[in-house]
Amino acid sequence: MIVEPGRDGMRGGGQGGVELVYRPTRADILTGVLVRERLRRLHLVRWGFVALFAAGALLTLTLTAPRASATSAALAVLCAVLIWSMPRFQAHHALRTVSWQGEYRTSVSESGLTAETAHVSLLQRWSVFRGYRETRDHLVLLSRDPNVLLVEVLPLRGLRVPEDAERLRALVGERLPRL
């Protein structure tokens, strides 16, 4: 959906709206990935596999001949590290996908969120989201679909003044439940 600036009343934080201006970072995207993973309880699966491969490496080293077990143990440790790193790989890939768009101007108002870059304008109504989670430096909005394919990360560093953080929390909290 294309939104022309100023036509929908969401531009610039008027009428109780809040505007964020920021460049997405790997930390922003990683926060969104980790919050999504926790909501879907995938972190338990990921840590289970990490523990399984780490235990396999330990058992291989302790129960078999040292020379034969070194390669198997190294591969098991490598698998554990790769599984642990999956959210970081996802964040890196997502950053490569969006970073070329440059600075984001995101307006949050009663109608929803409008994100604008030099190349794209996107309007997301509140009905798209099921709820939100707050981290120390971000508000993460999660989509309504079963797989939570859409994650909107609002970095608090993008606010003009620190007092806008309370207004943003109030605006989001009125429309979405905390998950």
The length of the chain, given as a count of residues = 179
- pLDDT of the residue at 68: 67
The pLDDT of residue 9: 40
Three-state secondary structure call for residue 75 = helix
| Residue whose C-alpha is closest to residue 127's, from 150, 104, 147, 107 | 150
What local confidence, expressed as pLDDT, does residue 66 receive?
67
Tell me phi and psi for residue 33, to 5 degrees.
-65, -45
- The backbone torsions φ and ψ at residue 123, rounded to the nearest 5 degrees and listed phi first, read -105, 130
Both structure tokens of 151: 């994650």
By the 8 A CB rule, do 155 and 141 touch? no
pTM for the predicted model, two decimal places: 0.77
**pLDDT at position 59:** 83
- What is the per-residue pLDDT for 32? 92
Task: Compute the distance between CA of residue 111 and CA of residue 124 in angstroms, rounded to an integer.
Answer: 8
pLDDT digits (tens, 9 = 90+) for 42-65: 888 889 999 998 888 888 877 776
Per-residue confidence (pLDDT) for residue 123, from 0 to 100: 93
Q: What is the per-residue pLDDT for 149? A: 83
Rounded average pLDDT per 10-residue block, the chain, 179 residues = 39 65 93 90 88 86 73 86 92 90 92 91 92 92 88 92 89 91
The pLDDT of residue 57 is 84
